[in-house]
Amino acid sequence: MKRTPFIVRFLGATPKQGWIAIAIAAAITLVLLPALHLLVPAGNPFHVSAYVITLVGKIMCYAIVAVAMDLIWGYTGILSLGHGLFFALGGYAFGMYLMRQIGRDGSYKSDLPDFMVFLDWKELPWYWTGSDSFLWALFLVLTVPALVALIFGFFAFRSRIKGVYFSIITQALVFAAMLFFFRNETGFGGNNGFTDFKRILGYSITAPEMRVGLFALTAAMLLATLVLGRYLVTSKLGRVLAAIRDAESRVMFIGYNPLHYKLFIWTLSALLCGIAGALYVPQVGIINPGEMSPANSIEIAIWVAVGGRATLIGPVIGAFIVNLAKSFFTMAFPEYWLFFLGALFVGVTLWLPDGVVGLWRKLRAKRVGATS
């Protein structure tokens, strides 16, 4: 019997409708929006402003995080309340490079980043070695969050820490990391973090082309994450993950070691968050320890819950709904945003346990039932 090549199986995991949706999304994000931003002059009603490009780009970064979160929470049943850490680590890893690209254009006209001059440091700390290299930055983005996740996950999963205990520990982890990054001595800009970026690979970071380039890259990454996610959840590994969620002891007694499965999906999830963080920082122009605040990590779980757990498109929808609402509220009624977020979470938990996607499926099932 002939073996189906892996790439065919990988791409075949996404059904035809999925590919059509991806093609449409790609056409909009890779062609239409960039063209409307770059080619249509400002003032024309069809012009897409820099604000919109940056906002959508930022939310797409969040959407990648939400899908990564769903792989570990929705599909494997492990609720992490510390995913902001991996996002921030990816952001910081790339931020170091962005700081070095400022060169002597900072306020102090020094080779060192401004915050180091301010602290009266004479040279770069050892862990900034190589931070002027773009490739080294990419390497750090791909390895640091994943490595932290691997080490933490190994000890947590080996000790069979589960459920709410795991959630609390991840929350403590992200909080501890935030306090660590707040210190000036840590060498990552303390309170203020990194900002005032000027260039990537020598090109101006504020140029419209750069903005659109980052936007398109983020969109491509999000679509790739969805295709990868689709393969994972339809693979045998995905079914073992669902089995771990349903009955972990049974999984062990039929001969699987859940440690390896959990560690794989957990580390992959952190890796995706790290990439999202690295795409996020140059688009919003800042990274500071606030990204590691416990509330931020909880918000990630809310995106997934609102959109619909254990679906791939749900987290993307959830990230867009919550963050568009956030930008609206923080402009219109800033003081009410957190009340709204809390109410949204309570409402979804009570009435929409399967999120927006679950609601849509229910309505569709009803309509099919009514016509037949």
Partner 1 sequence: MSQPSILLLHEVTVSFDGFRALNELSLDIEEGELRCIIGPNGAGKTTMMDVITGKTRADRGKVMFDQNIDVRRMSEPEIAHLGIGRKFQKPTIFENLTVFENLELSMKTDKRARVSLFAWLDDDAHDKISDTLRLIRLDQEAERQAGLLSHGQKQWLEIGMLLMQDPKLLLLDEPVAGMTDDETARTGELFKSLAGKHSLVVVEHDMAFIEQLGGKVTVLHEGSVLAEGDLATVQNDQRVIEVYLGR
**What residue ranges bind partner 1 (CB under 8 A)?**
1, 4, 6, 9, 232, 235-237, 239-240, 242-243, 245-247, 249-257, 260-261, 264
Q: How far is the CB of 9 from partner 1 (least distance, A)?
A: 7
Q: Which residue, 257 or 349, is less far from partner 1 as judged by CB?
A: 257
**Beta-carbon neighbour count of residue 44 at 10 Å?**
10
Count of residues making up the chain: 372
Q: How far is the CB of 359 from partner 1 (least distance, A)?
A: 19
Q: How far is the CB of 150 from partner 1 (least distance, A)?
A: 13
How far is Cα 95 from Cα 137, in angstroms, rounded to an integer?
A: 8
Q: How far is the CB of 259 from partner 1 (least distance, A)?
A: 9
Q: Which residue, 76 or 288, is less far from partner 1 as judged by CB?
A: 76
Q: Which residue, 192 or 234, is less far from partner 1 as judged by CB?
A: 234
Q: Which residue, 78 or 173, is less far from partner 1 as judged by CB?
A: 78
Residue for token pair 């780009």: 57
Q: Token pair for residue 253?
A: 């007694």
Q: How far is the CB of 256 from partner 1 (least distance, A)?
A: 5
Q: Given phi > 0 = left and psi -120 to 50 = alpha, else beta, which region is 193?
A: left
Q: Token pair for residue 229?
A: 């996610």
CA 58, 64, 66, 69 torsion-angle sign: negative
Q: How far is the CB of 357 from partner 1 (least distance, A)?
A: 16
Q: Which residue, 46 or 253, is less far from partner 1 as judged by CB?
A: 253
How far is Cα 341 from Cα 369, in angstroms, rounded to an integer?
A: 34
For 9, 10, 172, 231, 330, the CA distances from 5, given in Å and listed in that order, are 7, 9, 44, 14, 50
Of 272, 273, 244, 247, residue with least CA distance to 259: 244
Q: Which residue, 7 or 164, is less far from partner 1 as judged by CB?
A: 7
How far is Cα 149 from Cα 136, in angstroms, rounded to an integer?
A: 20
Q: CA-based Rg of the chain, rounded to a whole angstrom?
A: 22
Name residues whose C-beta falls within 8 Å of residue 366's C-beta, 6 or more positions apart in sequence: none
Q: Which residue, 249 or 371, is less far from partner 1 as judged by CB?
A: 249
Q: How far is the CB of 270 from partner 1 (least distance, A)?
A: 16
Q: How far is the CB of 265 from partner 1 (least distance, A)?
A: 9
Looking at this protein, which amino acid is placed at residue 226?
A: L
Q: Which residue, 207 or 252, is less far from partner 1 as judged by CB?
A: 252
Of 255, 267, 330, residue with least CA distance to 58: 330
How far is Cα 330 from Cα 333, in angstroms, rounded to an integer?
A: 6
